[in-house]
Structure 1
Amino acid sequence: MAAELVTKGSLRSPAWRHAFATVPRHLFVPAFHVRTAKGTASYTDEAPGWLEAVYRDDTLITRFSDEGLAVSSSTEPSLMALMLENLQLEDGMRVLEIGTGTGYNVALLSERLGSGLVTSLDRDPDLVEQARAALAAAGYRPTVVIGDGAEGYPGNAPYDRLLATCGLGRVPVSWLSQLSTDGMILANVGLGLVRLTRRSHQFVQGPFLPQAAGFMRLRSPLASGVPTLDRVLAATGGDPDEVQHFEDVPGLDDHFMSEFLLSLLLPSGLRVIRHEPGGAVHCVLDGASGAWFRAIVSPDGQVSVALKGSAQKWKLFAEMLGVWAREGRPGIDRYWLTVDRSGEHRLCLDGPRGRYGWDLD
């Protein structure tokens, strides 16, 4: 598996290749599910093909919610390797991981740094207990604690690196105060992976990586959830406050970039696209405020937008899309994010002081 990750370019450094070739992933996933083109395949350590499945470059789902949503997994190794390489770890650094899950990523960090420098946090007591047992079986004894990831873990702070293996709408401000002077946060914010370096006591900032990502969302009373598909369709079928008409909205038809920008603008939002005879209907609901918009794109490109409490957000979204289109459709790695101690998030194009910037909150 490690050799395959080197071939793919996910593993670049000898230290991380050693870690992936050393840590036994199978100890952390005795039972799991894998999504395939034919449906979901289930494995246990007594099933044929289990060991081969463990060491493929797949996400292994280990727990579902009562509603059938995946809530815990062992992320595909290539993405784990990408994030660990981008942490820019050096010997002696202290790391906090948010989202223990199976414990496999904690083991990789422990192999690289030594267990005494690694702390991991998860809010699920059962997951923490299972991870501790698997880590001990593999020969690692990092600090693994039960707690709210949005609050971090001050007990072992300051940390040189904070790695979030869960999806975020916004970076919790408590994390900033737990970083060392030159500390770094690597996290999945919206649909991007962002690497934020502490610049002063007041803020962190840094670029998005070229690769997109979408981890399971941070489960915390302090983090707003994303609405369900049914809720989006029900809300956006209501009567609007106003309707606006446009000859064109550049970029709205680019699914990936419009989703990326929307995920940053509405951290608790969800877009559902319906295809009807009259054109594509983009239904967007902000789960936090209940505001919504419904954009109908006709076959000739004209756009009609029904708005309910979302005029300002729609204006900002359309502006961000327009800039992206005019500037040559840049990749997400040309965007930078700044987060200050008050919790304000600012997105800029081409550096933290780029020509274009937007206050997301």
Structure 2
Amino acid sequence: MGGQDPDTRGDDRAALEDLAASARAALVRDIDRSGAWAADPVWREAFEAVPRHLFVPYYYVGVVGGYERRWGEHPDPAARERWVRGAYADTPLATRLRDGELLTSSSQPSLMAMMLTALEVADGDRVLEIGAGTGYNAALLAHRLGDDDLVTTVDLDPEITESARRHLAAAGYHPAVVTGDGARGVPGRAPFDRIIATCTLRVVPRAWLAQCRPGGRILMPLATGLVALTVRDAEHAEGRFLHTPAYFVPLRGAERRETEAQGLGGVPQRARGDDLFRFLLALTRGSLDPQEAYALWERENAPLRERYGITVSGERAWAWLDDPEGPYAWPLTG
């Protein structure tokens, strides 16, 4: 008595793997249509090969009154199918909660594809990822580069790094998974050619510049956008924002501030709800008050994200519109 017949279990598992392969192929087609990897189509093969469901053995879906947990070992076959299908939806997946607060997630795959393409990885590059998450992004990088040792991923939480290491091994990848403060980088594995962050920051950590080779590239979420910096040396880097919005969990260990504390009196409602104005507010927080930001936004006809950039020079770091030395520049305040 009790238990499922081993043959039936094997059949169920095979059917689930077939479903995962079909769902993964559909996801790849969706990302292809989005144009996310148009500049570097080699990423298509990585997304075709790396099984995302192995990196999200469970995740949480928002429902009325809270979250529903979906997991791959659910006793109900229909529930396991929902888990697999959800694992390959082009949406972010909440993977770790604490007291109702989202701690980690697996990012939207099409956004991941766009970021990896924008990182401009070349064969032989050494890559540092800040924010290990589920390990899925590190697996995509390891597959693309064809050498696990070229990839390092770091996270502050040992539970996260342990689970990422486990997921990576299950999928057949073994990059370096380090437990530590991502803002400090991983000096023992430096230098890196590329650094990519999957958590949002308020400033550019100087340690990253020091650990990046001259000519290297840093891609990081900042102020609801993604900035791509070219590193000149340990003291200097500069670059512009990409066109896309990006909302990530803040870097753990970094100081977290309330972003809605600014008074918006005098700012019209149409601006308050505008994504590009919210981006400008976040970028100039601590330097411009909302009314000054609104005046600039109106004067410059709601500038797109790619008109903004970041410069790091010695002890100074500032954001700017159109020109690093132009009239619109604001110190980055952490």
Amino acid in the other structure paired with 2:319: L
1:345 equivalent to 2:317? Answer yes
Candidates 71, 80, 84, aligned match of 2:103: 71
Shift of the 251–330 alpha-carbon distance from structure 1 to 2, 3 Å rule, reads farther
1:263 equivalent to 2:276? Answer no
In structure 2, the partner of 1:359 is: 331
- Say if 2:213 and 2:233, in contact at 8 Å, map to a contact too: no
- Say if 1:98 and 1:162, in contact at 8 Å, map to a contact too: yes
Candidates 221, 225, 238, aligned match of 1:188: 221
In structure 2, the partner of 1:328 is: 301
- Say if 1:192 and 1:214, in contact at 8 Å, map to a contact too: yes
- In the alignment, the residues of structure 2 paired with residue 251 and residue 334 of structure 1 have an alpha-carbon distance, to the nearest angstrom, of 21
1:80 equivalent to 2:112? Answer yes
Structure 1 residue runs of 4 or more that deviate by more than 4 Å after TM superposition: 36-39, 248-252
Range that drifts further, 330-339 or 348-357: 348-357
In structure 2, the partner of 1:143 is: 176
Secondary structure of 1:167's counterpart equals coil
- Say if 1:160 and 1:184, in contact at 8 Å, map to a contact too: yes
Amino acid in the other structure paired with 2:55: F
- Say if 2:259 and 2:282, in contact at 8 Å, map to a contact too: no
The structure where helix makes up a greater share of residues is 2
Candidates 4, 18, 23, aligned match of 2:45: 18
In structure 2, the partner of 1:112 is: 144
1:319 equivalent to 2:292? Answer yes
Tell me the CA shift for residue 228 of structure 1. Answer: 8.6
TM-score norm. by structure 1 comes to 0.77
Secondary structure of 1:210's counterpart equals coil
1:55 equivalent to 2:27? Answer no
Q: Report % sequence identity.
A: 43
Amino acid in the other structure paired with 1:82: M
Amino acid in the other structure paired with 1:334: R
- Say if 1:98 and 1:120, in contact at 8 Å, map to a contact too: yes
- Say if 1:98 and 1:164, in contact at 8 Å, map to a contact too: yes
- Which residues of 2 match residues 176-255 of structure 1 at below 5 A? 176-220=209-253, 223-227=254-258, 232=261, 252-253=271-272, 255=274
Amino acid in the other structure paired with 1:100: A
Aligned residues: 298
In structure 2, the partner of 1:42 is: 69
- Say if 1:206 and 1:352, in contact at 8 Å, map to a contact too: no
- In the alignment, the residues of structure 1 paired with residue 47 and residue 150 of structure 2 have an alpha-carbon distance, to the nearest angstrom, of 18
Shift of the 75–216 alpha-carbon distance from structure 1 to 2, 3 Å rule, reads same
- In the alignment, the residues of structure 2 paired with residue 14 and residue 336 of structure 1 have an alpha-carbon distance, to the nearest angstrom, of 27
- In the alignment, the residues of structure 2 paired with residue 313 and residue 249 of structure 1 have an alpha-carbon distance, to the nearest angstrom, of 17
Tell me the CA shift for residue 226 of structure 1. Answer: 2.3
- Say if 2:281 and 2:293, in contact at 8 Å, map to a contact too: no
Amino acid in the other structure paired with 1:162: I
- In the alignment, the residues of structure 2 paired with residue 83 and residue 355 of structure 1 have an alpha-carbon distance, to the nearest angstrom, of 30
- In the alignment, the residues of structure 1 paired with residue 85 and residue 272 of structure 2 have an alpha-carbon distance, to the nearest angstrom, of 40
Shift of the 115–8 alpha-carbon distance from structure 1 to 2, 3 Å rule, reads same
- In the alignment, the residues of structure 2 paired with residue 102 and residue 177 of structure 1 have an alpha-carbon distance, to the nearest angstrom, of 27
- In the alignment, the residues of structure 2 paired with residue 124 and residue 334 of structure 1 have an alpha-carbon distance, to the nearest angstrom, of 36
Unaligned runs of 5+ in 1: 237-244, 268-311
Per-residue deviation, residues 90-128 of structure 1 (Å, max 9, x unmatched): 101110000001100000000011211000001111111
Per-residue deviation, residues 272-312 of structure 1 (Å, max 9, x unmatched): xxxxxxxxxxxxxxxxxxxxxxxxxxxxxxxxxxxxxxxx7
Secondary structure of 1:10's counterpart equals coil
Range that drifts further, 150-159 or 34-43: 34-43
1:101 equivalent to 2:73? Answer no
- Say if 1:173 and 1:340, in contact at 8 Å, map to a contact too: no
- In the alignment, the residues of structure 1 paired with residue 36 and residue 96 of structure 2 have an alpha-carbon distance, to the nearest angstrom, of 26
Shift of the 176–184 alpha-carbon distance from structure 1 to 2, 3 Å rule, reads same
Per-residue deviation, residues 219-255 of structure 1 (Å, max 9, x unmatched): 11xx2112397xx59xx8xxxxxxxx97x77985453
- In the alignment, the residues of structure 2 paired with residue 39 and residue 79 of structure 1 have an alpha-carbon distance, to the nearest angstrom, of 26
In structure 2, the partner of 1:293 is: none
- In the alignment, the residues of structure 2 paired with residue 86 and residue 15 of structure 1 have an alpha-carbon distance, to the nearest angstrom, of 13
Tell me the CA shift for residue 52 of structure 1. Answer: 0.8
The structure where strand makes up a greater share of residues is 1
Amino acid in the other structure paired with 2:30: E
Secondary structure of 1:78's counterpart equals helix
- In the alignment, the residues of structure 2 paired with residue 130 and residue 146 of structure 1 have an alpha-carbon distance, to the nearest angstrom, of 12
- In the alignment, the residues of structure 1 paired with residue 233 and residue 179 of structure 2 have an alpha-carbon distance, to the nearest angstrom, of 30
- Which residues of 2 match residues 268-283 of structure 1 at below 5 A? none
Secondary structure of 1:79's counterpart equals helix
TM-score norm. by structure 2 comes to 0.82
Tell me the CA shift for residue 352 of structure 1. Answer: 2.5
Tell me the CA shift for residue 136 of structure 1. Answer: 1.1
In structure 1, the partner of 2:32 is: 6
Amino acid in the other structure paired with 1:69: E
